[in-house]
Structure 1
Amino acid sequence: MTVLARARERGIETLALDSPDTRNALSSVLVGALADALADCAGDPEVRAVVLTHTGTTFCAGADLRDPPDPDAFVGLLRRIVELPLPVVARVTGHVRAGGMGLLAACDITAASTTSTFAFTEVRIGVAPAVISLPLLPRTDPRALARHYLTGERFDAAEAARAGLLTAAGDDVDAVLAPVLDGLRRAAPQGLAETKRLLTARVLETFDRDAAQLTALSARLFASPQAREGMTAFLERRDPAWVL
């Protein structure tokens, strides 16, 4: 089963999450396929940058509750995006939830259409945005993040840009990204790699310091009775027991 589509144009490798039936939820298969594709790109001198995008109306709905990835594998994927010696550009024309927000935060440049919506839904199923905090906390506004982490409410692309989750938003995301991709094609590979290293140093310090603790927290929460109730309620399309 294909869960990731690939294409290349003038040195830009496009990786499209391609499991629209599950709203591109992060299954173990999808996480593995994306990690392998990124490794391929890193070793290919013909690739200047990577665009991470999607098919369907959702960029990524978060973890696949029926086939969740191993927490260590997901941490490894996020770190691979951050460490990749190539710029990774997120192109979003749909909705982003939970773990998908971590993918977005790991990317270097992020653009979304004005119709996209965003939400950290973890608290609503009894867990916390633990692992995705590794790239998120160093790159976003703390006050905005506190509100969205704690309430799980949806917010729009303008708010995502204000909070630092997006580089830019526009009615035509491809028009927004056209000058970005042109600039990356004009940049020297060595210059891109070393400039990205400067930009990601603080993010990687967070991975080095906190990855083991946050991975353990995620595993503990997902195994808890409240999370089981929250995930069951989500799958049954009902409110969990704690809703007032």
Structure 2
Amino acid sequence: MQTTWQTLELHIDGHIANLALNRPDVRNAFNGTMVAEITQAFRELGASQDIRAIVLLANGPAFCAGGDLAWMKSMAAFDHAQNLADARGLAQMLRAIDCCPQPVLAKVQGDCYAGGLGLVAVCDIAIAAETANFCLSEVKLGLIPATISPYVIRAIGERFARRYFLTAERFDAIEAQRIGLLHEAVPVEMLDARITGIAQSLCTAGPQAVRQAKRLVHEVAGRTMDDALLADTAGRIADVRASEEGREGMQAFLEKRKPSWLA
């Protein structure tokens, strides 16, 4: 697994990977290198059986300011094909996070704008400091938040997306929690402990069960409640109960001992 990056910092603590955006001088804004490195990092971390949770965080006062100005300036000269290729790179980055087998936690310590909101929305669990601010600012630049829209709309719903996509209003962490972008907004001095507690808790569960639970949400959400869905979910629980991890977990519970993945 690669450990040295131009735009990221990776620190692994036991079964928890802490991946930090590391361009604090430009408020952790995206450029082509960062997009490619985030994509690669999540693919590599996702392939590891030792990693049970990934924390996405950022160095410096801001979480992510969206697109880097120099990067955006270069795109102004792109033709349609070049713009399409660039946008697909960003889409692949978001998909790599979304499809990562392990749970991904967003630790939002500071302001988060435009494409940065996509990073927060695509994570499984999002916790921010109460002092963080958010903005879907694209229309102010004559753009639209197209690539991040599937994840942001999934998080906040169509009604709030209609407002914030159109107005580019800035909103605080309390509002971000109210509309569903965040799970929690906490005092800044509590952010480290809250993220650490959740990540450590995830590591106490059956690692394959956690992966399959994440996949379950992906594959069941939005489906019609019909016989096919009932058969699918029944088959999933039957498979898990018969698995080595499922049998071990139930046996450990009945014998009042720790399961093997905690030994």
- Whole-angstrom CA distance in 1 between matches of 2:94 and 2:185: 23
Conserved? CA contact 1:96–1:117, under 8 Å: yes
Query: Is the aligned partner of 1:128 residue 2:144?
Result: yes
Conserved? CA contact 1:115–1:157, under 8 Å: yes
Q: How much has 1:46 moved relative to structure 2?
A: 1.2
- Whole-angstrom CA distance in 2 between matches of 1:194 and 1:12: 18
Question: Alignment partner for residue 139 of structure 1, among 146, 155, 162?
Answer: 155
Which stretch shifts more, 186-195 or 142-151?
Answer: 142-151
1:185 aligned partner = 203
Percent identical across equivalent pairs?
38
**2:181 corresponds to which letter in structure 1?**
L
Conserved? CA contact 1:134–1:203, under 8 Å: no
1:130-169 superposed matches below 5 A? 130-169=146-185
Distance 1:37 1:129, change over 3 A: same
Name the SS of the counterpart of 1:58 in structure 2: coil
- Whole-angstrom CA distance in 2 between matches of 1:200 and 1:109: 14
Higher relative contact order (CA 8 A, sep 6+): 1
Structure having the higher Rg: 2
1:45-194 superposed matches below 5 A? 45-68=49-72, 70-171=86-187, 172-194=190-212
**2:167 corresponds to which letter in structure 1?**
T
CA displacement 1:145-182 (0-9 Å, x = unmatched): 22211111111101000111001110021232233112
- Whole-angstrom CA distance in 1 between matches of 2:94 and 2:14: 26
Hey, which bits of structure 1, 4+ residues long, moved more than 6 A? 202-205
Q: Which runs of 5+ in 2 are unaligned?
A: 73-84, 224-263
Distance 1:56 1:65, change over 3 A: same
- Whole-angstrom CA distance in 2 between matches of 1:204 and 1:4: 34
How many residue pairs get aligned? The number is 205
Q: Which runs of 5+ in 1 are unaligned?
A: 206-244
Distance 1:204 1:71, change over 3 A: farther
Q: How much has 1:141 moved relative to structure 2?
A: 3.2
Q: In angstroms, what is the RMSD of aligned CA positions?
A: 1.8
**TM-score, normalized by length of structure 2?**
0.74
**1:107 corresponds to which letter in structure 2?**
C
Q: How much has 1:190 moved relative to structure 2?
A: 1.0
1:23 aligned partner = 27
CA displacement 1:197-244 (0-9 Å, x = unmatched): 122237899xxxxxxxxxxxxxxxxxxxxxxxxxxxxxxxxxxxxxxx
**2:206 corresponds to which letter in structure 1?**
A
